[in-house]
Structure 1
Amino acid sequence: MSSQTILRISREITQIQQGSDLSIAVACQEKDVRHVKALIIGPHGSPYEYGFFEFTVNFGSEYPSKPPKVEAKTTNGGRTRFNPNIYAGGKVCLSILGTWHGERPGEEWSSAQGLESILWSIQSLMSNNPYENEPGYENAKGTEDKKMNDLYCAKIRHETLRIAVIQKLEEALAIQPDGSVAPPSASPQWSSEDDEDADGSNQVTETQPKLKFEPFKDLYKRRFLWYFEHYMSTIEQHSSKNKDGSDFTKMPFEGGGNTMDGKFKYADLGKRLVRIKEVIREETNNWATEGLAMKNRESSKAASIHRQFEQLGDYLKRKKLHNMDVELENGNPFIWILTYFGKPSTHLDGGIFKVKVSISPRFPEEQPRCRVETPLFHHRVSKDGVLCYFPKESDMLRNHVECIAEALEEESPPYDPRTIVHPEATKLLWGSEADKKKYYRQVRRSAQRTTEDAMES
């Protein structure tokens, strides 16, 4: 493969990684950009909503004259066909990939297209009408066809939760079928290559096994916390329509192993979702213990995190973030406690909010997890305090703190369904004028309560 082709692929990967589209992600190992792992998050409002769908993209020597080879990996081990165009065996049928012959001009591949357009094209298949993606059913508009599409969406919705969410998280967290968590030796985590003791000795040994390239594990966990309320709401809404133990309806075009067979088991899915959330919380708590141990043995990683904390004060002054105060919890450099003071003349005026920032010993590979510990009705804060924010420089903790403040102060954001972490607050904020007024009243009431609580204590 020519250096020019390698440069183009690298540029396309970087463009996606630095872009603002929260529904797609790509990653590759530095030694070979020709083999890319891609993630598509199911579109809001579709039966694929907030599912994590993985694909591999392999670029050949003739790229960009010819398209890369794309294979679906979220298939339940080759047993589940998520779409008429996304086969259980991994084949993705798209005209731009040369795996399907489009009938209209412009549908075929051209060198002007690239990785991002491929992912968008695949994402477009994940619609409310997947039944119509099957050849011969493109114009299926009759009553019976609508019924079949609804039945198809019903099982896609269930399997998106089971396979594209729950299975992904259980694998990432090493949760066993009985709900227990496999010990670290059975499920090795990342090893920090720069985690050296004071004497310079590295904790990673050459005898340790080479870890599988799994670039999206941390993303799964963070987004799961964002979307947890939605997942539970989906179960509540659809479990009554699909009785546990009832069979999926087989579509006319399914057969020969290329199917989506199974039974509805929403009650079990709900229990597994709750268990995943518990394990993520346990994992986050363990970061504090692990980080303190690193501090006590004077590891370079602990020293680096502590140095970033010490430099934070000057940074906040330069950024004029005078309404932020940060301290360590019990002297642990991996737990930062932020106190945010609501700015005058804003809806948070007078409020005093505590935000706990848990930092992984494997930062920045694993990103911080933030929880607003003071009750706050806010579109960026879930009911149990998970904060949705977007660091511009993910490897700099100071930028995380800055962006946490920006998220709390955000009052008129553009609507983005991929950032919905508090459905009730979101519905009010982007509702009618009366709804918006109700939203801001509840935000102000949250701030007032913090003052009242402070006076009582």
Structure 2
Amino acid sequence: MSNQTILRISRELSQIQRGSDLSIAVGCQEQDVRHVKALIIGPHGTPYEYGFFEFSIVFGAEYPSKPPKVEARTTNGGRTRFNPNIYAGGKVCLSILGTWHGERPGEEWSSAQGLESILWSIQSLMSNSPYENEPGYENAKGTEDKKMNDLYCAKIRHETLRIAVIQKLEEALGIQPDGSVALHKDSTKSGSGDEDEENEEENESRTLKLKFEPFKDLFKRRFLWYYEHYMTTVLEYSPKHKDGSDFTKMPFEGGGNTMDGKFRYGDLGKRLVRIKEVLRDETNAWAAEGSALNERESSKAAFILRQSEQLGDYFKQKKCNNVSVELEDNNPFVWLMTYYGQPMTRLDGGIFKIRVSISPRFPDEQPRVKVESPIYHHRVSKDGVLCYFPRKPDELRNHIESIAEALEEESPPYDPRTIVHPEATKLLWGSDSDKKRYYRQLRRSFQRTTEEPS
């Protein structure tokens, strides 16, 4: 493969990673940009909504003259076909990939296209009418066709939740079928200092090379964002599909290239709750692990501590007087942030307590932020999970700034991929009376922060 081709692939990967599209992500190991892992998050308002769909991309020596090879990896071990164009065996049928012959000019591959356009094309298959993606069914608009499409969407919705969400998180967290968690290496074991730490890092690095998982932390963070949506899906559709009832087989399914199964929303709901419990326990374990590292005077702990100590001077420079940060029990890995509502804003007078839990593997694992003061806000879930976007994910200072910016955001552009509080979001982007209700609820919530004892 020529240097020019490698440079182009690297440039495309960097463009996606720096971009603002929250529905796609890519990752590769530094030593080989030809082999890429890609993630597409199912579009809002479809049966694929907020599912985590992974793909492997292999670039050949003739790229960009010829398209890369793309294989779907979220297939339940080759047993589940998620779309007429996304096979259980992993094949992705698209004209721009040369795996399907389009009838319209311009549908074939050209060197002007790239990885991002491929991912967008695959994402476009994840629609509300997947039944019509099957050749010969493109114009299926009759009553019976609509019924079949609804039945197809019903099982895709269930399997998206089961396979593309729950299974992903259970694997990432080591949750076993009985709900127990597989034991991992004890990161808090005693040691003499940096030498032990370096050995641990070397072992971790070797493990990562053997099993490259670039989206593991993303799965966890987004699950916390979308948890309420997932549970709402269970509550809404479980009465419509009796547990144990069979999926309807589509006319075009067969030969092992199918989506067979039964509805079991009751079980899915329990597994979602268990995932959230394990994520809570994992976050708490970060604090214990961080405290142990601090006692050992680890370089990791010193690095995080230094960043917290520099915050005061930085805020003075920026003349930012409405944010303060202190450590919980002198633990550098747990920051307690207090945000004071800015004068002349909708949060004026509010006092918000925010817990920032930092992983000892930061920045590979990003902080988990919980607003502990009750607040009715489109960026904060009902149980306090904050949806925010640091411009510099490897700088904790920027995380604190971005948290404040998320709370202060008054007229954001609508983006369904950031919905963490569905009710508040619906009001904010609803009618004029809905918006008034939203701001009234917001005002009441921050007024309560001054009434409660700190």
Amino acid at match of 2:198: N
Q: Is the 8 A contact 1:42 1:52 kept in 2?
A: yes
Deviation at 1:204, TM superposition (A): 2.2
Q: After the TM superposition, which residues 95-244 of structure 1 pair with which residues of structure 2 at under 5 Å, given as runs?
A: 95-185=95-185, 197-198=193-194, 202-204=198-200, 210-211=207-208, 212-244=211-243
Alpha-carbon distance in 2 for matches of 1:39, 1:250 = 27
Alpha-carbon distance in 2 for matches of 1:180, 1:140 = 46
Deviates more, 1:207-216 or 1:16-25: 207-216
Is 1:312 paired with 2:311?
yes
**Residues 200, 262 of structure 1: CA spacing in aligned structure 2 closer, same or farther, 3 A cutoff?**
closer
Deviation at 1:344, TM superposition (A): 1.1
Q: Is the 8 A contact 1:196 1:301 kept in 2?
A: no
Deviation at 1:319, TM superposition (A): 2.8
Alpha-carbon distance in 1 for matches of 2:246, 2:195 = 62
Aligned to 2:291: 292
Is 1:421 paired with 2:417?
no
Q: Is the 8 A contact 2:197 2:298 kept in 1?
A: no
Alpha-carbon distance in 2 for matches of 1:74, 1:304 = 38
Is 1:24 paired with 2:35?
no
**Residues 230, 206 of structure 1: CA spacing in aligned structure 2 closer, same or farther, 3 A cutoff?**
closer
Instruction: Provide the secondary structure at the position in 1 that maps to 2:315.
Output: helix
Deviates more, 1:239-248 or 1:313-322: 313-322
Alpha-carbon distance in 2 for matches of 1:284, 1:418 = 24
Q: Is the 8 A contact 2:337 2:355 kept in 1?
A: yes
Q: Is the 8 A contact 2:28 2:35 kept in 1?
A: yes
Q: After the TM superposition, which residues 243-258 of structure 1 pair with which residues of structure 2 at under 5 Å, given as runs?
A: 243-258=242-257
Percentage of pairs with the same residue: 79
Deviation at 1:315, TM superposition (A): 1.7
Aligned length: 448
**Residues 114, 385 of structure 1: CA spacing in aligned structure 2 closer, same or farther, 3 A cutoff?**
same
Q: Is the 8 A contact 1:196 1:203 kept in 2?
A: no
Deviation at 1:282, TM superposition (A): 0.2
Deviation at 1:93, TM superposition (A): 0.1
**Residues 79, 444 of structure 1: CA spacing in aligned structure 2 closer, same or farther, 3 A cutoff?**
same
Aligned to 1:11: 11
Amino acid at match of 1:393: K
Deviation at 1:206, TM superposition (A): 6.3
Instruction: Provide the secondary structure at the position in 2 that maps to 1:53.
Output: strand
Alpha-carbon distance in 1 for matches of 2:202, 2:323 = 44
Aligned to 2:364: 365
**Runs of 4+ off more than 6 Å:** 205-208
Deviation at 1:201, TM superposition (A): 6.2
Deviation at 1:317, TM superposition (A): 2.3
Alpha-carbon distance in 1 for matches of 2:347, 2:27 = 39
Deviation at 1:452, TM superposition (A): 1.3
Aligned to 1:192: none
Deviations 1:313-360 (Å, cap 9, x if unpaired)?
Answer: 122223332100100000000000000001112111111000000000
**Residues 330, 144 of structure 1: CA spacing in aligned structure 2 closer, same or farther, 3 A cutoff?**
same
Deviation at 1:196, TM superposition (A): 9.4
Amino acid at match of 2:377: H
Deviation at 1:263, TM superposition (A): 0.1
Instruction: Provide the secondary structure at the position in 1 that maps to 2:79.
Output: coil
Alpha-carbon distance in 2 for matches of 1:169, 1:452 = 39
Q: Is the 8 A contact 1:65 1:111 kept in 2?
A: yes
Q: Is the 8 A contact 2:75 2:89 kept in 1?
A: yes
Deviation at 1:142, TM superposition (A): 0.4
Alpha-carbon distance in 1 for matches of 2:197, 2:322 = 41
TM-score scaled by structure 1?
0.96
Deviation at 1:205, TM superposition (A): 7.5
Alpha-carbon distance in 1 for matches of 2:207, 2:335 = 32
Alpha-carbon distance in 1 for matches of 2:192, 2:338 = 32
Alpha-carbon distance in 2 for matches of 1:248, 1:213 = 34
Aligned to 2:37: 37
Is 1:82 paired with 2:82?
yes
Amino acid at match of 2:239: S
Instruction: Provide the secondary structure at the position in 1 that maps to 2:7.
Output: helix
CA-based RMSD of the aligned residues comes to 1.5
TM-score scaled by structure 2?
0.97
Q: Is the 8 A contact 1:247 1:263 kept in 2?
A: yes
Instruction: Provide the secondary structure at the position in 2 that maps to 1:6.
Output: helix
**Residues 96, 207 of structure 1: CA spacing in aligned structure 2 closer, same or farther, 3 A cutoff?**
closer
Q: Is the 8 A contact 2:192 2:296 kept in 1?
A: no
**Residues 199, 110 of structure 1: CA spacing in aligned structure 2 closer, same or farther, 3 A cutoff?**
closer
Deviation at 1:167, TM superposition (A): 0.1
Deviation at 1:210, TM superposition (A): 2.6
Alpha-carbon distance in 1 for matches of 2:309, 2:85 = 53
Higher helix share: 2
Alpha-carbon distance in 2 for matches of 1:378, 1:54 = 31
Deviation at 1:66, TM superposition (A): 0.1
Deviations 1:27-83 (Å, cap 9, x if unpaired)?
Answer: 000000000000000000000000000000000000000000000000000000000
Aligned to 2:324: 325
Aligned to 1:66: 66
**Residues 196, 299 of structure 1: CA spacing in aligned structure 2 closer, same or farther, 3 A cutoff?**
farther
Instruction: Provide the secondary structure at the position in 2 that maps to 1:402.
Output: helix
Aligned to 2:280: 281
Instruction: Provide the secondary structure at the position in 1 that maps to 2:435.
Output: helix
Structure 1: gaps spanning 5 or more residues? 190-194
